[in-house]
Amino acid sequence: MNAAAKIDGHVSEVNVTDELQQVGVLPWRIRRDGEPKVLLITSRRRGRWIVPKGWPMKGRALHLAASREAFEEAGIFGEICPTPITEYRYMKALDSGLEARCRVTVFGMKVRGTLSHWREKGQRQRRWFSLGEGADRLDDAELAEFVRELEATPDRLKQFVDFSEWDRLSSEPQDRAE
């Protein structure tokens, strides 16, 4: 069965029996006291806690498309890992009223800054959570399980950046105006 979906800024016909590809970001930071935090945002329609995600962009590497989504949806920027850290699947409600199965490839981002004003600020909430609380709040069970695994072994976050940069990056990001 086909349905219309907005993909990469264009309305396209998609076969809802196919798995659609999306890209996402798991934004994180290490507080000065050493506690790791993850940043989650709410979805626009139902207010579920999710990670920033969207469609791949033609001509742009997947991790850079994910970084762009994080900037637009959460008002954050930072160092993005070019290698995916996990993936998960979920059912996406399309504008047509149908649902399509999506596979989200997730990239880790060490957040270096947050904007006070950003494109989707009026449409979403954004909040930092401990790894355990973030896992509890996440609407997507597969991603929540990954975050729970990070809570058990938080040093795995170090894999998402160049280890030689770890000490320099361990401070909290500064808020910035756009």
Of the candidates 125, 109, 116, 128, the one whose C-alpha atom is nearest the C-alpha of residue 176 is 116
Domain 22-160 part of CATH 3.90.79.10: yes
CA distances from 102 to 14, 19, 90, 138 (A): 12, 5, 5, 16
How do the domains of the chain map onto residue ranges?
22-160
Q: What is the pTM of this model?
A: 0.80
Confidence label for 95 from pLDDT (cuts 50, 70 and 90):
confident
- Look up residue 138 and give its DSSP letter: B
User: Helices marked H in 81-155 — which ranges?
Assistant: 131-137, 141-152
Identify which has the larger pLDDT, 69 or 161: 69
pLDDT more than 70, % of the chain: 79
Confidence label for 11 from pLDDT (cuts 50, 70 and 90):
very low
Residue 130, pLDDT above cutoff 70 = yes
